[in-house]
């Protein structure tokens, strides 16, 4: 008996997708660079640390730890805030999530262990790149913040939102 995928044989399934595959081949490589960069940005690496794109999980972790970066602060409020944000943004999500779920003491210990591995000399560069990284990452979200009249053109429209992207 011939193997089926759903109601079709593998050959029938492949043949049914041929027009779509041909169209995709025609448009391949024609996506504007800004769109590609928005979804797959080039990594930012400082001293072996990669500043990862802010995805929903990272956003929620930053919110959970009360990061001032989500509260409209564009400067680095303290060394502790910087290290906590760097830990969340650069370390594997499973590690960060585990430390957060284990409680404040475990999270703080994880951040301290992370900080011990950072050479002091890289902190100024990390700080500068983090500020640029966050400004770029949050810029689409900033446009979604509405002022009191709901026009999106007031002073809050240029601030970082403390809410999730698209909600606010």
Q: Could you report the per-residue pLDDT of 62-111, keeping only the tens digit for each?
A: 999 998 887 765 566 788 998 999 999 999 999 999 999 999 899 999 99
Domain of 3, in residue numbers: 1-30
- 68 & 22 share domain: no
* pLDDT-derived band at 112, boundaries 50, 70, 90: very high
Residue 139 lies in a domain: yes
Tokens representing residue 56 in the block: 């929903």
Which pTM does this prediction carry? 0.61
* pLDDT-derived band at 5, boundaries 50, 70, 90: low
- 73 & 18 share domain: no
At 28 the pLDDT is 76
- 16 & 65 share domain: no
- 60 & 137 share domain: yes
Tokens representing residue 144 in the block: 């979604």
- 25 & 50 share domain: no
pLDDT per residue over 145-165, tens digit each? 444 444 444 444 333 333 344
- 24 & 4 share domain: yes
Residue 148 lies in a domain: yes
Residue 163 lies in a domain: no
Cβ contacts of 159 within 8 Å, gap of 6 or more: 72, 142, 145
For tokens 């999500």, name the residue. Answer: 93
- 20 & 81 share domain: no
Q: Which residue has the higher pLDDT, 163 or 33?
A: 33
Residue 61 lies in a domain: yes
| Alpha-carbon span 35 to 32, nearest angstrom | 5
- 23 & 86 share domain: no
Are residues 161 and 144 in contact, defined by beta-carbon separation less than 8 angstroms?
A: yes
Mean pLDDT of 4-30: 79
Cα→Cα distances 135→35, 128, 145, 158, Å: 17, 11, 15, 11
User: What is the average pLDDT value for the chain, to the nearest integer?
Assistant: 76
At 131 the pLDDT is 80
Structural domains of the chain, count: 2
Alpha-carbon torsion 154, 156, 158, 161, what sign?
negative
- 89 & 112 share domain: yes
Of 68, 132, 59, the closest CA to residue 97 belongs to: 59
- 71 & 104 share domain: yes
């Amino acid at each position: 008996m011939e193997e089926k995928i759903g109601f079709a044989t593998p050959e029938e399934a492949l043949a049914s997708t041929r027009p779509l595959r041909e169209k995709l081949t025609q448009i391949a490589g024609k996506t504007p660079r800004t769109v590609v960069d928005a979804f797959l940005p080039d990594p930012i690496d400082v001293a072996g640390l990669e500043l990862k794109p802010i995805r929903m999980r990272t956003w929620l972790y930053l919110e959970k730890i009360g990061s001032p970066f989500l509260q409209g602060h564009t400067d680095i409020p303290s060394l502790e805030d910087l290290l906590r944000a760097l830990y969340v943004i650069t370390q594997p999500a499973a590690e960060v999530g585990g430390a957060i779920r284990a409680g404040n003491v475990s999270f703080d210990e994880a951040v301290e262990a992370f900080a011990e591995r950072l050479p002091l000399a890289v902190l100024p560069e990390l700080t500068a790149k983090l500020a640029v990284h966050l400004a770029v990452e949050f810029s689409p979200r900033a446009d979604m913040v509405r002022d009191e009249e709901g026009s999106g053109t007031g002073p809050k429209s240029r601030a970082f939102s403390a809410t999730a992207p698209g909600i606010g």
